[in-house]
């Protein structure tokens, strides 16, 4: 288990996000609890006030003597003064009841509070109202609200303890998230460091839950796959250039040296110069093909994509190669699709790719054989399938044939530079299409499949 310093935790996005949600939840908690507290205490006090007014109405309906007797009896039954009831004369002197002094008040019939020390040695809160009776006396009606104040205090303590617990648990959770995020970032950092140091086969680890980091790691891993492939292709190109271009360069230099050493006639000298020019043109054609592939892989044409019907592309390519096929007695069959086979792409690049596939199919097929071109289309995919009658491509070489300048041993003596399928592969990647080689028994079938484009 890797060690994470506490000073590094506040820098993580997970910790800061957790703190933000903790603050948001804390504010929501305070607002909700405050609303509940306000509603609860307000309801209890309103019930107390309603009870005081009901008692005032009841006392108003009593005769003065009966009222005085009832107050005396109530005082005897309530020695602790939980519901103090007192009758004062017009000068404010007590006639009957628990209180000896009328507490101060601003107006009649409006509930208010005061602290009263009765029997327990400390002040107790009493909510009361003062009512002026018809006979000139003053009626004091109160209710001890000590229990209500204790309940209020209990609610406030619950708020403080609950808020403190929420803060502690939230902070611990934020720290746990920060530690987890930091450890995961450390793992990603170590993986990236190994890749930077040269291990291009390494990939960023994922958890498989498709979270934000997994999605970023997936994109980076895709980029690393492409980078590893490109680096492998660069290395393969260097090796293939050293292997395949050495022979024509050696032949070119040897021919020029022979022409220089020998006393050649004008005709022999011209033939030597023509041979050197042909070899140089072959080299230039190879380098132009390499530059063409680099241009395609640079995605410089993607902005010019438009809807292209593969039926038209294949028809033009077949028409172009029909004379070559007829020279060798071959049959070039086109099976178009009954519906439009539209893809989004560059028509010229797709035409070039189709021509390269047809050129290979005709080149490696025997005379008097057939080459079949089929256009495929359904609701989701469109593509091209080209089947030849040649020797086919061994399964072990079906990935390697797409490398630049790669040529199998069986095709070493066939004219070409080994870049045709590399160019087709580059066009397929640019158009997000799939290029596959299958065994046709006999021959080989090459499929170029992409997503269908709906107008």
Report pLDDT digits (tens) over 337-390.
Answer: 888 888 888 888 888 888 888 988 888 888 888 899 999 888 888 999 999 888
- In the chain, CATH 3.30.565.10 covers 303-451
Given a contact cutoff of 8 angstroms between Cβ atoms, the answer to whether 453 and 344 are in contact is yes
Q: What is the pLDDT of residue 242?
A: 58
- pLDDT category at 416 given cuts 50, 70, 90 is low
Whether 150 shows a pLDDT value over 50: the answer reads yes
Q: What is the pLDDT of residue 314?
A: 92
**Domain 303-451 in this protein, CATH class:** alpha beta
Query: How many whole angstroms separate alpha carbon 30 and alpha carbon 38?
Result: 12
- pLDDT category at 46 given cuts 50, 70, 90 is very high
109 or 185: whose pLDDT is higher?
109
Q: For the residues 284-298, what does the mean pLDDT come to?
A: 64
Average pLDDT along the chain:
81
Measured CA to CA in angstroms, residue 428 lies from 63, 345, 422 at distances of: 107, 10, 10
Given a contact cutoff of 8 angstroms between Cβ atoms, the answer to whether 245 and 253 are in contact is no
Whether 140 shows a pLDDT value over 80: the answer reads yes
CA angle 87, 88, 90 (to 5 degrees): 140
**Of all helices (H) and strands (E), which one includes residue 81?**
none
Given a contact cutoff of 8 angstroms between Cβ atoms, the answer to whether 129 and 110 are in contact is yes
Name which of 56-60, 85-89, 210-214, 285-289 the model is least confident about. 285-289
Within its chain, how far is the Cα of 41 from the centroid?
48
Q: What is the pLDDT of residue 1?
A: 41
Pairing relationship of beta strands 94-97 and 381-387 according to DSSP bridges: unpaired
Taking residue 30's Cβ as centre, other Cβ atoms within 10 Å add up to 13
Q: What is the pLDDT of residue 33?
A: 87
116 or 312: whose pLDDT is higher?
312
Place of tokens 């403080």: 160
Beta strands in 205-330, from DSSP E residues, in sequence order: 306-309
194 or 8: whose pLDDT is higher?
194
- pLDDT category at 413 given cuts 50, 70, 90 is very low
- Cβ neighbors of 398 (< 8 A, separation 6 or more) are 437
Whether 401 shows a pLDDT value over 90: the answer reads no
Q: What is the pLDDT of residue 256?
A: 78
Compute, in degrees rounded to 10, the torsion defined by CA atoms 157, 160, 166, 168: -110
Query: Number of C-alpha atoms within 13 angstroms, CB side, residue 289?
Result: 23
Which is it for the CA torsion 416, 422, 427, 428, positive or negative? positive
Whether 68 shows a pLDDT value over 70: the answer reads yes
- In the chain, CATH 3.30.450 covers 1-199
Q: Which pTM value belongs to this model? A: 0.47
Q: What is the pLDDT of residue 244?
A: 59
- Cβ neighbors of 100 (< 8 A, separation 6 or more) are 94
- pLDDT category at 295 given cuts 50, 70, 90 is low
Given a contact cutoff of 8 angstroms between Cβ atoms, the answer to whether 452 and 374 are in contact is no
Specify whether domain 1-199 bears CATH 3.30.450: yes
Q: What is the pLDDT of residue 174?
A: 82
Q: Which of 360, 314, 351, 320 is nearest to 336 (CA)?
A: 314
Query: How many whole angstroms separate alpha carbon 171 and alpha carbon 6?
Result: 13
Query: How many whole angstroms separate alpha carbon 338 and alpha carbon 310?
Result: 12
Within its chain, how far is the Cα of 118 from the centroid?
70
Whether 56 shows a pLDDT value over 70: the answer reads yes
Query: How many whole angstroms separate alpha carbon 4 and alpha carbon 151?
Result: 46
Q: What is the pLDDT of residue 261?
A: 75
235 or 227: whose pLDDT is higher?
227
Within its chain, how far is the Cα of 39 from the centroid?
43
Given a contact cutoff of 8 angstroms between Cβ atoms, the answer to whether 422 and 404 are in contact is yes
């Amino acid at each position: 288990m890797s060690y994470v310093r506490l000073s590094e935790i506040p820098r993580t996005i997970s910790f800061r996000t957790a703190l933000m949600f903790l603050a948001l939840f804390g504010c929501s908690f305070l607002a909700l609890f405050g609303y509940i507290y306000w509603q609860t205490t307000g309801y209890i006090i309103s019930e107390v006030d309603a009870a005081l007014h009901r008692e005032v109405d009841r006392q108003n309906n009593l005769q003065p003597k009966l009222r005085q007797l009832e107050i005396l009896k109530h005082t005897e039954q309530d020695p602790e003064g939980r519901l103090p009831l007192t009758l004062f004369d017009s000068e404010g002197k007590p006639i009957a009841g628990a209180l000896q002094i009328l507490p101060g008040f601003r107006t009649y019939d409006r509930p208010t509070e005061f602290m009263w020390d009765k029997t327990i040695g400390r002040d107790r809160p009493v909510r009361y109202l003062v009512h002026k009776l018809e006979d000139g006396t003053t009626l004091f009606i109160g209710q001890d609200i000590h229990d209500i104040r204790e309940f209020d205090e209990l609610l406030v303590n619950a708020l403080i303890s609950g808020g403190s617990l929420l803060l502690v648990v939230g902070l611990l959770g934020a720290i746990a998230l920060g530690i987890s995020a930091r450890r995961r970032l450390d793992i990603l950092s170590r993986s990236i460091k190994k890749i930077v140091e040269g291990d291009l086969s390494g990939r960023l680890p994922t958890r498989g839950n498709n979270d934000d980091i997994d999605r970023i790691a997936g994109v980076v891993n895709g980029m690393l796959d492409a980078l590893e492939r490109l680096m492998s292709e660069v290395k393969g190109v260097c090796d293939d250039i050293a292997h395949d271009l050495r022979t024509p360069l050696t032949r070119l230099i040897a021919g020029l040296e022979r022409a220089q050493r020998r006393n050649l006639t004008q005709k022999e000298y011209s033939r030597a110069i023509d041979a050197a020019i042909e070899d140089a043109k072959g080299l230039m054609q190879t380098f132009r093909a390499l530059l063409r592939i680099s241009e395609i892989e640079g995605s410089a044409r993607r902005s010019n994509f438009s809807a292209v019907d593969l039926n038209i592309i294949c028809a033009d390519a077949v028409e172009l190669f029909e004379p070559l096929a007829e020279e060798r007695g071959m049959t070039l069959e086109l099976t178009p699709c009954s519906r439009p086979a539209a893809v989004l792409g560059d028509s010229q690049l797709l035409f070039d790719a189709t021509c390269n596939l047809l050129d290979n199919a005709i080149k490696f097929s025997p005379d008097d054989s057939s080459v079949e071109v089929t256009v495929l289309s359904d609701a989701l995919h469109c593509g091209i399938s080209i089947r030849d009658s040649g020797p086919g491509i061994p399964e072990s070489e079906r990935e390697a044939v797409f490398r630049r300048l790669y040529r199998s041993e069986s095709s070493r003596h066939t004219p070409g530079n080994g870049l045709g399928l590399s160019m087709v592969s580059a066009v397929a990647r640019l158009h997000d299409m799939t290029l596959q080689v299958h065994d046709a028994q006999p021959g080989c079938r090459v499929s170029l499949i992409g997503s269908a484009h709906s107008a």
